[in-house]
Amino acid sequence: MERNNLYPIFLKARILNVLIVGGGNVAEEKLTFLLKSSPDAHVTMVSPMFREGTKALAEKVCVTLIEDKYKKKYLKGKHIVVATTDVPEVNVQVWKDCRAEDKLVNVADNPPYCDFYMGGIVTKGNVKVAISTNGKSPTTAKRLRQFFEEVIPENIDDLVKNLNEYKKTIKGDFEQKVETLNEFTKGLIEKKES
């Protein structure tokens, strides 16, 4: 059976510089997705043209639009790059340039040219769940995201905040605190007998 070997991490996008190459539907989708999860992300987009929706979104948040064809110079100072153009040669060139400069890159809809995937994300206050299908099925990730949005209660953030306060009152070393919190929270996941 095939296995998902990706390692999930949660990036502080506000301290990273992200470049999106392209200005069409896919670029706007990636921008929207990124800003939904990290509205304080620092994003630059480069493309000969941009959709009106992208321009409107860029005016509201910290997004820089550069009307130009992709050039390697636009990688300077960027940490993460997403290539979304409809010209395969440009996307592959972005990938090659990123490989040469040790930058993380995602070529949209082209898994062999991706260092990372942008999976489905569910956010409820401080709780965030990321979903990956190993790049195989974004539709499945979308459906799982919708499922988790329904089943994770809206008040989960209250629980997180209360447990954080409770943790501060527990005496003992790290292991004792973990044991106490595990005991205190085990009822959250116990299956109910029907």
**Long-range pairs for 153-157 at CB < 8 Å and ≥24 separation?**
153/124, 154/124, 156/124, 156/125, 156/127, 157/124, 157/125, 157/126, 157/127
Confidence band for 60, pLDDT divided at 50, 70 and 90: confident
Confidence band for 189, pLDDT divided at 50, 70 and 90: low
162 CB contacts (<8 Å, ≥6 apart)?
none
Q: What is the mean pLDDT of residues 123-148?
A: 88
Please give the angle made by the CA atoms of 93, 64 and 68, to the nearest 5 degrees.
45
21 CB contacts (<8 Å, ≥6 apart)?
27, 45, 46, 47, 70, 74, 81, 82, 83, 84, 85, 90, 91, 94
Q: What is the pLDDT of residue 72?
A: 98
Least confident window among 3-7, 23-27, 182-186: 182-186
Fold of 13-118: Rossmann fold (3.40.50)
Cα separation, 44 vs 68, in Å, equals: 12
Q: Encode pLDDT of 173-185 as tens digits.
A: 888 878 887 877 7
Confidence band for 108, pLDDT divided at 50, 70 and 90: very high
| Amino acid at site 45 | M
Q: Provide the mean pLDDT of the chain.
A: 90
Task: Tell me: pLDDT of 188 over 80.
Answer: no
Please say whether the dihedral angle defined by the alpha carbons of residues 87, 54, 142 and 161, taken in this order, is positive or negative.
Answer: positive
Output 119 or 28, whichever has higher pLDDT: 28
Residue with tokens 């992709």: 70
Output 187 or 79, whichever has higher pLDDT: 79
Cα separation, 161 vs 168, in Å, equals: 11
Model pTM score: 0.84
Q: What is the mean pLDDT of residues 109-125?
A: 89
Residue with tokens 């990123």: 98
